[in-house]
Amino acid sequence: MAQAAGGALASACAHAGALGLLGGGYGELSWLQTQHALALHLLSSEATALKRLGCGFITWKMDVDASTLDWLLDQPHTPAALMLSFGDPRPYAARIAKRGVPLICQIQRLEQLPQCLEAGAAVIVAQGAEAGGHGMQGLQGRATFSLVPELADALAGQSPSTLLLAAGGIADGRGLAAALMLGADGVLMGTRLWASAESLASSGAVAAALQAHGDDTVRSSVFDVLRRKNWPPEFDFRALRNRLHREWELRMDELRQAPEAARADYEAGVAVQDFDRAHVTVGEAVGLLRDAPSAAVLIARITQQAEALIG
């Protein structure tokens, strides 16, 4: 969760007993240095929780410049795990393994599994197309409910010691319990923790999300074009479907060829938090959000609900 999962949120998750991942995202070094320092400060008196602090990066962006990853691996604190998403993890596996850091690989299709196992992934995240933010585009995307058990069966035969997490559409204890029944060892949550007290998401964006339903989200490349994000074509972006998105979603070729006016409109919306123009990065689970409490409250609530259902 680039620009949302900062030091406060990652440390709150770690303190609550979960794995807390900094949103290293596109590899912006100054941002990560600031948020990493904050997380270390917040966990400085909690040695056990500090061991649950890790970071995630966008793999294809590291193919351009991996200096932020190298900086993180050079720090005294050994990350609890490093998560790589959206690209081939193998070029980075050796340097991560050399530091003794477990590798988490997020994938969207069964065919991506072999390269992750070759990279020595300790954890596979099965990301369904329901997820917010970036994921596999519609022609290739898979739903969480079928992807998780298929990957669970594949791992049972090929690499039974590798853990499996479910992601996409999970925001409460029902989703956690369902994921466990499908063969996952746990879940990775984005949208639910994006709307938390410690998140760096703007208050206006969270307020818009709390009024939305899953029907209100859409997956496309509109906001990537507007934000000048040159993502590989197999991936696109789920967010709330607002006025600006509707204006351009059926005119993608035109938008790509002449984006200047639309970008100006979008940037003006961002400046004043007008979410008819600015994007709100959430997945289909947005319809399950009713509040934005602390991460500790959310993790305890979700865990208790799942335990009650499984029991």
Residue pLDDT, tens place only, 163-181: 999 999 999 999 999 999 9
Q: Is the pLDDT at 247 greater than 90, yes or no?
A: yes
C-alpha span between 303 and 298 (Å, rounded):
8
Mean pLDDT of the chain: 97
Q: What percentage of the chain reaches a pLDDT higher than 90?
A: 98
- Two structure tokens written together for 92: 């980075």
Does the structure show a pLDDT above 90 at 94?
yes
Q: Which amino acid is at 281?
A: T
Which token pair is 10?
């990652």
Spatial distance between the Cα atoms of 161 and 222, rounded to a whole number of angstroms:
39
H or E element: which one contains 136? strand 133-136
**Average pLDDT, integer, range 177-194:** 98
Per DSSP, the three-state class of 252 is: helix
By the 10 Å C-beta count (0-12 exposed, 13-18 middle, 19+ buried), 311 is classed as: exposed
Cross-strand bridge partners of residue 145: none
Does residue 55 contact residue 32 with C-beta atoms inside 8 Å? Answer: yes
pTM here is 0.96
Provide the residue ranges of all domains of the chain, joining segments of one domain with +.
7-201+290-310, 203-271
> 148: Cβ–Cβ under 8 A, 6 or more apart, which residues?
126, 128, 164, 166, 179, 182, 183, 184
- Model pLDDT for residues 133-146, shown as the tens digit of each residue: 999 998 999 999 99
1 pLDDT higher than 90? no
Percent share of the chain, pLDDT over 70 = 100
Q: What's residue 3's pLDDT?
A: 86
pLDDT class for 2, splitting at 50, 70, 90? confident
Give yes or no for residue 14 having a pLDDT over 90: yes
From the list 51, 221, 66, the residue with the least C-alpha distance to 135 is: 221
CA–CA–CA angle 217, 218, 223 (5° rounding): 110
Average pLDDT over residues 193-218: 97
- For 7-201+290-310, CATH number? 3.20.20.70
pLDDT, mean of residues 248-264 = 97
pLDDT tens digits, residue range 44-84? 999 999 999 999 999 999 999 999 999 999 999 999 999 99
